[in-house]
Structures are given as structure tokens and as C-alpha cells.
Amino acid sequence: MTTEYEHRTVLLRGGEVHSPADPFATAMVVERGHVAWVGSEGAADAFAAGVDEVIDLQGALVTPAFVDAHVHTTATGLALTGLDLSSAASLAEASERIRAHAAARPEDRILIGHGWDASRWPERRAPRREELDTLTGGRPLYLTRIDVHSAVVTTALLDLVPGVRDLTGFRDGEPLTGDAHHAVRAAAYAAISPAQRTEAQRAARAHAASLGIGTLQECGGPEISSEDDFTGLLDLARDEPGPRVVGYWADLDVARARDLGAVGAAGDLFADGSLGSHTACLHEAYADHADAAHTGVAHLDAPTVASHVVACTEAGLQAGFHAIGDAAVTAVVEGVRAAAEKLGLARIRAARHRVEHAEMLTPETIAAFAELGLTASVQPAFDAAWGGEEGMYAERLGAERARTLNPYAALLRAGVPLAFGSDSPVTPLDPWGTIRAAAFHRTPDHRISVRAAFTAHTRGGWRAAGRDDAGTLVPGAPADFAIWRTDELVVQAPDDRVARWSTDPRSGTPGLPDLTPGRELPVCLRTVVFGQTVFVRPNE
């Protein structure tokens, strides 16, 4: 960011500014990359003559820019620029898309695709390897399931990974999981050219900026991406305008994570897998697995978790774990508690260690999150996609267990910090849709107010990365904000009594867009990161 831009002073006026400093603010001054003042239209006149630029908001809403707390940036960009099957309604439709993509990219050394979900298809099965061989003309293809915890591939890609058939997770004719999946993923991403990778990263950052996202928290790691991918993304974010990138590297080698520029040896450090792939680790067996005793896969035990948390805390880095199943969450909680017994609870709480996804929680593990100061980095779009009485969760777990998943209201009541993200490309970058999913959770008892969800997707993301000075539009905060075209502002809460009081002017509660399902979501007009405009909607 240039010194010239950082010294520009900008007045925004004539809109609605969402700020706890003034719930009725209509104007804001930005100076040297920070919010300098927030206030009323009348007071803005005093600043107008001394600024470099005046932006007439024409009634638009200004909010803090969103933070997506869990993203796989390169994979997101590859889905945006390549083969995306997330909207395919059947195996037949997916097959036609694969055929067309292969025909359109004759020069690519490898074909990369994402997003198939056989649980939504009438055929109820994944594409078979021999089918993929035919569709691609025998070329290497790596095609991940929607949750990215399993993949189908062509024979040509398997041939690039000697010994893959002897690894755990390889079952001939079935999607790859575990070590076999990690091995083919490494081979697939190694075959992507540096130019392809940079193109994908630029596409992902540009798309995020167009949605009012100012910060992406990248969850990389040796089993997810590559060191070159991770450092290349951090370099790109430093050198080119766009959303800032906070890097997490999922590695038990804490020194390596620090050397790569990560703020934590965290993110998708796998304690287990996913529910969709039957690899999330459960206390009780899956309801729909061929093996009636199958409880998923455990990748980390409590002593390993404890050792890692101690190492990270002593190194001044965040620790964090991917934990979805209740048994995996229990292992993480037991490990963090053992670390607290060694180092002291105050040091563990101050380090703000994280748990990603944290879907299957109990009252006991929720209380432990609060006690240990763990941040729950969660993805409400998962419930929108897979919750409900007929969804994938109910299919995997049975309806009773499925209803316990993603209990955001209970987490907030216990005082557990929430940070919202997408896990893109698992679910799309979609911040207002994410807030809607939390406020209108498929299980009513788990719903939270729009205001609480908005906070989790703005200030909560900053807090999850260790900063308390950002994510709100108050003087002194970084000038990360977005401008939105939207309908009238309201206050929405699960309890109507709360909503009625919050709309009373005496409450001083700033409104937010009406996110009732069926209503159009706000449209981003401009995104600004540290005072620098990184997106302007065309023709606005």
C-alpha cells in the first residue's frame, strides 16, 4: 500500500454507518488507513473542506469489512476458474461438466475439480474411476468431494503416486480418504503450474473483495496444500491490493509454521475427518455405514494435542485443530486442559487457541471451551447445506444426534468466542448468507441474533487472530469497511421481545439488513482495506 494513499483523507457522508460509537451515524472520516471520526451529517460539514475526497453514500450502508475465518484460497480460486460440481444435480450432469471441462482445457497438465456430493444425487454414488478415465480421455484428474475429505481420481493420476494402493484410505472402486487421499492431493497440486496457482489466488481474492470481505484467514498445511502455495499467497497479499491474508499452517512442527510466516500452527490440523465422508470421529457409530460399528477416524489423541498446545503457547503462536466429531472434540478439550495444567490456565486462555468446525458439541465440551478460552471457528453454511430432518447430518447420525449439531446459541450463552467462516470451497464465500444461516438455523434452539452473527463475522474474526482493535468502525480502528446497497435496516433476534426493545431508539442498537429467507441479500458497492479501495462495483 502506497504512502500516497495512506495519507489521503476521505469523508463518507449521506448514508448509514454501522458503528457502536454512534448508532445514528451517517458519516465517517478515514485518515492514514484508520477510522478518524464517526458522526452525524451536520458535524460532517466541518470536515468537508479539509479532506482529499468526499464520497456521497446516497443512502448506502457502511459496515466493517467481513473476516472469513477459514478459507483455502488457492482451492477456492481453482473452483472459481475451473471445474465446480457443487451445483450439479445428478451424476449425469456432473459427468457432462467433467467431459466439457476436459475438452476446454487441452493444455493443462492436470485437471482439478471440486464439489461433487453423491448424497444429493438420485444415483447416490460417486463417479467411478473407469468413467472418469473415459470422460477425460485418460488424463490426470483430481476431483474432491464437497467436504474436501475424499476424492475420486483417474488412473493416470494414481500412476503418478507410486505405492498409493498400499496406503490407508485406498479401497479400489471407492473414493480415496486418509493417507491415500493426501498423497494424490500432493501430486495433483504439485502438477499445477505456478502461473495457474497465482491465477487462482488472484481470482479468489478478487471474488472475496467483491463480497465485502477484507480479511481471509488461510488454512494451509502439508496435508492440504504446499509450502510454496502458502508462502506464495502471503507474498501476493503483501504485494498486490486486495483482502489481507492471515496465514495458519497446520503442522505439529511449530518452528516450521513460524518460519513460513504463519501466526499459528493451526487451522486444519486434523483431529478427525468429516461427517460426509464418514471420517469424523464419533463416540457412537454412524447410523448409515456398512460397518455398523464404524465410528470414523482419529488422527490426534489427547497427549499429542497437549504437547502441541504447550509448544505453540511457549513459542507465542496459536494452536488450533480441525475437530468435527464429538470424540475428536473431546480429545482436543482433554489435550488443551492437560496443557493448562502444565502451563497454567491464564497462559492458555491468553493464547486464544482455536478449534475449527466444532460441530458435535455437548454441554460439557461447550463449558470446557469457555473455561479454556478456546475460539470456535465455525461455518453456519454447513447447517444450511446439510442440516434439517432430511439432510446429510440426519442421514449420517440419525435425526436425534443431528439436531445437536452447530449449537451457536449455547456457545454464546457460555461465553465462547465465535468466528465465522466458509471453509471455501467447501461452501462458497458468502458473508451475508453465512449470517442468515446462523440467524435462521435449521434447529431453532441454535439460532442467534443477526447482530451476534454479524459480530462473529467481523470483530470475531479479528479476535480469533489475536486482535481486539479492529472489526468495528470506531476512531482508531483500521479502515477496513464495505459499502452496501440494501433495503431498510432492522434488528432481528430469535426472541421477539429482544427485537422490539432493540428497535427502540433508547436502546442505541444500530440496525442491519433484513436477512429473512427469501429477501435479497445486500449488494457490495465498494470494499476498502486499510484505507485502500480494493473493489468498486462496475457502473456504480
What is the per-residue pLDDT across 499-532, written as a single tens digit (0 to 9) for each? 444 444 445 678 899 999 999 999 999 999 999 9
* 3-state secondary structure (DSSP) of residue 61: strand
Cα torsion at 521, 526, 530, 532 (round to 10°)?
160
Q: Which residues of the chain have pLDDT under 70?
A: 1-7, 495-508
Residue 69 host element (H or E): strand 66-71
pLDDT of residue 280: 97
**183, 168 Cβ separation under 8 angstroms:** no
Which pLDDT score is estimated for 496?
54
User: Cα(191)–Cα(189) distance, rounded to whole angstroms?
Assistant: 5
286: its cell numbers? 454412524
CA-wise closest residue to 209 among 536, 471, 472: 536
How far is 94 from 88, CA to CA, in rounded Å? 5
Q: Cα angle at 195 between 147 and 211, to 5 degrees?
A: 50
* Cα Rg of the chain, angstroms: 23
Residues near 304 by beta carbon (within 8 Å), at least 6 away in sequence: 252, 335
Cβ atoms within 10 A of the Cβ of 477, count?
A: 20
The one-letter code for the residue type at 150 is S
**How many CB atoms lie under 10 A from the CB of residue 239?**
8
Handedness of CA 530, 532, 536, 540 (dihedral sign): positive
Q: CA 383, CA 285: separation in Å to the nearest integer?
A: 21
pLDDT of residue 6: 53
The H-or-E segment that residue 90 falls in is none
Whether the Cβ atoms of residue 330 and residue 283 lie closer than 8 Å to each other: yes
The pLDDT of residue 220: 97
- pLDDT for the residue numbered 540: 72
Length of the chain: 540
How far, in Å, CA of 323 to CA of 308, rounded?
Answer: 15
d(CA 239, CA 87): 34
Pairwise CA distance, residues 54 & 390, whole Å: 52
Q: What is the CB-side half-sphere exposure of residue 339 using CA atoms within 13 A?
A: 30
